[in-house]
Every structure is written in structure tokens, then in C-alpha cells.
Chains A and B, each alone.
Chain A
């Protein structure tokens, strides 16, 4: 089975989640979605767009408390939203330091800025940066307090291939080094096969868990042939979620 030990870092058990718009039919976004993420594990949540993946993250992070079920382990998690959600009126440095509790806000972040290639931009306003660089700032904010868990919502979407690959390598390198657990939402299957220890496939609305797929081969020895074979295998078993 997967790397989930006896003591998972993150536990999600959402029995149901309904959206009830004031004018319109209620929509069930999630039903019976349960999974766990172990220490140091990278888990990717994959599913069709609009399937309720982001909803699941919002529930997990406590942004949306109106649901049935239980979630645990995301207190103190670092979060990278799909849009960088930086404060445009504050410097890069100020934005990153907001990721720290007030008591630790003055701490030395030179290493973090250097590792993410942001040292030269600390005093800039976010609008002066490209989207890729803004995502790095958002990642720096998520990492500032050294969290055990990193939650990422489509963090590499709308970047060009080079920028996406670079940022992906930064994330993998950082979490491997720190032994962080990662839960990442994506609809990019190739990307997930490249970095995940485990894939969770979810259905269309209401989101249910369809498959829990461990990827046992070490990340360093994943080559193109293996990735394509894995993808083809998934596509054969779950044609409605993963296109060939």
C-alpha cells in the first residue's frame, strides 16, 4: 500500500457538502470523500474541473465550516492559492512575513528568499513581478513558518512550461528536504504523475473518491516511458476522469 503510516498528518472525511444558493437549486459538491496524507508524502487530488476539489481544500483549511464530516491536521498548514492572492499594496517582503505569526515576524528569511530566487525582489510590489514570480512569493509566504503540511491549489496553472517546471522542481526540492507533507489539487495528470507519491482520483459532482493510486517508483527514476505507461494504465481503468 502507500506510505501512509499509522499516524497520518492530514485526515479528511467529508460526508457531504451542499451549496445552497439563495436563488436556485441546491448543489451537492462533495459526498463521502475520505483520505489521509502521511508524513513526507506528496498526494495529488485529480478530477474534472468543477468537481469540488477546491471546495475540499477550503473545507480542510477551515475557510468553509458548513459541511458534514471531520477534517484534521491542516492547522498551521501553508497554503498556495490558485491566484497568488498577494497584497498588491505591500512589498514582497511584507507579504511573505504575513505568513508568520506576529511573534516570529522579525525572523531571518534570507535563506528562504535566496532559495526561491526572490532576494532581489524583496522590496518590490507584486504588480512589478510576473505571474510565475508572484506564485513564488505566494509559495514563500506558505513556507515562511516552516509548516508540516503544504496545500497547493493548481499552483502551476497558466505558467509557460519552463516556468512551471522550474517552480515544480522548487516545490519538490523544498518539501523533500523538509519532510513536509503536500496535498495538491490539479487537473494536469502528467504533472501529478511526475511528482506525486500517490494519486487520488475524484469523480464529477458530487466529488467521491474513485481510486487511490500509489506511485511507488522513486521520483528521480521516473522516465518518460514509465510516465506514459502509468498514464495509459490510469486512462484504461478510469476513462471518464483521465483522457488518453
Chain B
């Protein structure tokens, strides 16, 4: 923890030194960024934009996780499904996020649905591929046990399947969350009238206000790291408690 704080202080100090040296509004000092964050918060724009973006991240994250897990299990359990869907999945995995986003806006229109769809399509293949790995590694001995003791579907899913997939699901969630929010910003920049991505683009085009760009980025990064530490890491510790 102490090392972490020290490394952060060094980073801020280096930033301050560089800003003093440059004396340019294109490289604002830490305090200038902090001032912008304060002003933007007072106007209410900060809370609104961060809230809107967070909501988009949450919805697309939830949808992508749910669909990705279902798809991953199907791919891992069924040879036919895997053969059929492997190629489309590979195509989707290797299509640039920007292309998926632009196509979603072109084909669905400049709507909230298109924005969410674009993020989901970007993230879903990653979740499916990670969960597929888990579904391939299920313990056949436990399946035999479930059969001999006539466990019904509900017991099998809750007691046998999900606990074996949990480590994979948590990995997918953690890598997926950071992926999702970065893509949400691109999606907002390209076709939404609000959100952090929109705000960053606005300050860039209007006035090249670097303090604003860094300010928004810092605030949102802090929120996402907070979610990871407070929520996902605790969830991970919880699912590993029996080890």
C-alpha cells in the first residue's frame, strides 16, 4: 500500500514538474485539472455525464455478460455449436471496435439501442471465449455423481455448473469491465449527445481544453477502479473462499 502511494506521489510530482517546464495550456498542472473538476462538478455537468456513461457501461456489461456466459457454455458443451459458431466468433473478435460501432450507428440509427448494441457486440466474444474454456474443463466425475444422485437441472446449474465456471466468469467480468468502459467512451464520442466520451470530444473540438479532457478521464478512471476494488475483487475473494 505504501509503495502504491509513493509511486502515485512520484507520478504527480513528475507531472507537476513537466507542467512547470512546459508552461503551456496543452500540458496543464495537476491543480488546474483539479480546478476544472471542481467547476464542472458545480455546474452539474460532471455528475450528469459520468452518471450517463456509468449507466451505459452497466447495461451493456450486464447484457454482454449474460449472453456471453450462455453462449460460452453452449460452445464448451456442444461440439456442433462450437464448430458452427467458431468462425463468426473469430470474425467478431477481430473486427475493430470502431468498425462495429460505426456499423451499429449506420444500420440501427443514432440511438441509445445502437450504442448499447455496439458495446455488447464488442465485449460478448471475449466473455464467450473465456467461459467456453471453463465449460470445456468441467469435471466429468461430478457430472456422473449428479446423474447417479438424480440432481435436477436447478441443482446441477446451481451446485455443479456455476461454481466450476465462477473463476472464469470473474476473469471475464474484470477484463470485460475495463474493456466495456473504454468502448463506451468511443461509442459516445461517435454518436451520443451526452456522457464522458461526448464531453471529452466537446472540449477537444471546442477549445482543445486539455485540463477538461484529463479531468474527465481521471474522474471516470477513479470510478471504474473503485468498482473493481470494492465490488469485483471482493466478489472474486468470495467465490474462492472454499479453496
**Residues of A with Cβ closer than 8 Å to B?**
58, 61-63, 77, 79, 81, 83, 85, 87-90, 94, 98-99, 101-102, 125, 127, 141
User: A58 to B242, alpha carbons, bound, how many Å?
Assistant: 30
A98 and B144 contacting across the interface, CB-CB below 8 Å: no
B145 CB contacts on chain A under 8 angstroms: 79, 81, 85
Q: Is the CB of A63 within 8 A of B148?
A: yes
User: Which of the segments B82-90, B151-159, B214-222 contacts the partner chain?
Assistant: B151-159
In-complex Cβ contact of B148 among A79, A102, A125 (8 A): A79
Q: Is B163 an interface residue (CB 8 A)?
A: yes
Q: Determine if A89 and B144 form an interchain contact, defined as CB atoms under 8 angstroms apart.
A: no
Is residue B142 within 8 Å, beta carbon to beta carbon, of the partner chain? Answer: yes
State in angstroms the CA–CA spacing of A61 and B148 once bound together: 7
Whether the Cβ atoms of A98 and B148 lie closer than 8 Å is: no
Known A85-B145, A87-B142, A87-B163: A101·B150 in contact at CB below 8 Å: yes
Contact in complex: A85, B243 (CB < 8 Å): no
- What is the distance, in angstroms, from B171's C-beta to the closest C-beta of chain A? 17
User: From residue B230, how far is it (CB to closest CB) to chain A in Å?
Assistant: 24
**CB-based contact A98/B155 at 8 Å:** yes
**Which 4 residue pairs across A and B have the least CB separation, nearest first?**
A89-B163, A85-B145, A125-B242, A89-B242
Residue of B nearest to A151 (CB): B148
The 8 Å CB contact of A102, one of B141, B152, B166, is: B152
Shortest distance between the CB of B170 and any CB in chain A (Å)? 13
Give the Cβ gap from B101 to chain A, nearest Cβ, in Å: 39
Distance, CA A136 to CA B159, complexed state (A): 20
CB contact between A63 and one of B147, B159, B160, B242 (< 8 Å): that residue:
B147
A90, B151: Cα distance in complex, Å: 15
Contact A141 B152 (CB under 8 A): no
Smallest CB–CB gap between B167 and chain A, Å? 11
Chain B residues whose CB sits within 8 angstroms of the CB of A83 once the complex forms: 141
- By CB atoms of chain A within 10 A, which of B151, B155, B242 has the most? B242
Confirm or deny: B107 has a beta carbon within 8 angstroms of a beta carbon on chain A. no
- When A61-B148, A98-B151 are in contact, do A90 and B142 touch as well, CB less than 8 Å? no
Q: Flag B212-243 by CB within 8 Å of A: 1 or 0 each.
A: 00000000000000000000000000000011
Given contacts A89-B242, A127-B243, contact A99 B159 (CB under 8 A): no
- Residue in B144, B148, B159, B243 whose CB lies within 8 Å of A87: B159
Between A and B, 24 residue pairs with Cβ closer than 8 Å are A61-B147, A62-B147, A62-B148, A63-B144, A63-B148, A79-B145, A81-B141, A85-B141, A85-B145, A87-B159, A87-B160, A87-B163, A88-B243, A89-B163, A89-B242, A90-B242, A98-B149, A98-B155, A99-B149, A101-B150, A102-B155, A125-B242, A127-B242, A127-B243
**How many Å lie between the Cα of A87 and that of B142 in the bound state?**
8
In the complex, what's the smallest C-beta–C-beta distance from B143 to chain A, in angstroms? 9
